[in-house]
Amino acid sequence: MFQVIKQQGRARRGRFSCAHGGVVQTPVFMNVGTQGAIKGAVSAHDLKDLKCQIELSNTYHLHLRPGDDVVKALGGLHKMMDWDGPILTDSGGFQVFSLAGLRKIAEEGVTFASHIDGRRIFMGPEESMQIQSHLGSDIAMAFDECVENPAPYDYVKRSCERTVRWLRRCKAEHDRLNALPDCVNPGQMLFGINQGGTYDDLRIWSMQESAKVDCEGYGIGGLAVGEATEVMYHILDVTLPYAPEDKPRYLMGVGTPSNIVEAVWRGIDFFDCVMPARNARHGKLFTWSGSLNIKNEKYKLDERPIEPGCGCPVCRSFSRAYLRHLFKAEEMLAMRLAVMHNLYFYNSLARRIREALDGGQFAAFRAEYSERLAGRAE
């Protein structure tokens, strides 16, 4: 469960506990292993060294391959990955949203074509809950519709109302599944998802109605899909006052280091994003002075680590020059080392935010780092 132990303005320092992994310290950044592994050849064992607290995997992808029935037969996702910490599974709603040309939405759920082989698949609230129950994650996300931005008000309103109805169906099915004798993880929790596009009144209504369904936490979905950063912050400002104070708030799919600092300032507790791993695979690395492109010529003879003073396994052993060479030589190790550094940086960012909150210094931390982290390092 969740406990707020300290607050500075709207920023919250908390503790969260679930079936696996003991107590999670919040704010927390969740490391994204979509198909049960971090892209870039990073395993669950590596995540321990990178100070990861929660791993995130995806319902849609694991349903298609290897199949959630296979994962259940192997004892659940924790056992299959050999990861003993908490796991959150996304509902698959965002992936279905990304298949805009291949899907059809109805009250019952969504019919879409597999991106792997084109076969037709149906997923509704009950199916999403069943898949996530088979995976045995600690946190299951409710099935929702993520609308594109911009979208007409009337469509977003209808979509919002449907997402709330789907949440009620998710809750009923989730409770039923957790009570089954062969349930992989009877302690699995359910998080609802707030939607509403960029319309203030719909965001507020969605949060108010979602809060009536007794979930263990609430995600803020449908952001970072093309709207301006200032619009995203505005949506958080108008929505979070209506979120339950005693439940964690999860900003889904966000974001840059600066985004995380600003969202914590507004009251967010959980984050996830593919950005640190995706950018790393292209040579973009994060430091406390901003980001750098390790492929640049100026790092050819640079014997410094990526970030002097960084405690990650990469910076403890390897130079910028070596990492640049690996990228230029197209060695697989380049991606692995880069991803490991960026994940460690994001996990360290969350830790330093927590330390600033513990010391009552988060306003000063924000003033020093929010803009700096959005810049470029030398």
Find, among 327, 330, 353, the residue nearest to 341 by Cα: 327
Using an 8 Å Cβ cutoff, are 66 and 43 in contact?
no
In angstroms, rounded to a whole number, what is the distance separating the alpha carbons of residues 344 and 338?
10
CA distances from 233 to 87, 188, 375 (A): 27, 30, 19
- The closest of 239, 17, 242 to 251, measured between CA atoms, is 239
Which one is catalytic: 46, 68, 138, 272?
Answer: 272
Task: Name the 3-class secondary structure at 173.
Answer: helix
- Rounded to whole angstroms, the Cα distance separating 23 from 2 reads 9
The backbone region for 313, taken as left when phi is positive above 0, alpha when psi lies in -120 to 50, beta otherwise, is: alpha
The one catalytic residue in 46, 68, 90, 138 is 90
Size of the chain in residues: 378
Q: What are the backbone dihedrals phi and psi of residue 200, each rounded to the nearest 5 degrees, phi first?
A: -55, -50
Q: Give dist(CA 162, CA 205) in Å, integer.
A: 13
The residues, ordered by sequence, that sit 6+ positions from 314 with a Cβ below 8 Å of its Cβ are 305, 306, 323, 337, 338, 340, 341, 344
The Cα–Cα gap between 222 and 10 comes to 22
CB 76 within 8 A of CB 136: yes
What six digits make up the tokens of 268?
């967010």
90 is catalytic: yes
Active-site residues, by number, are 90, 272
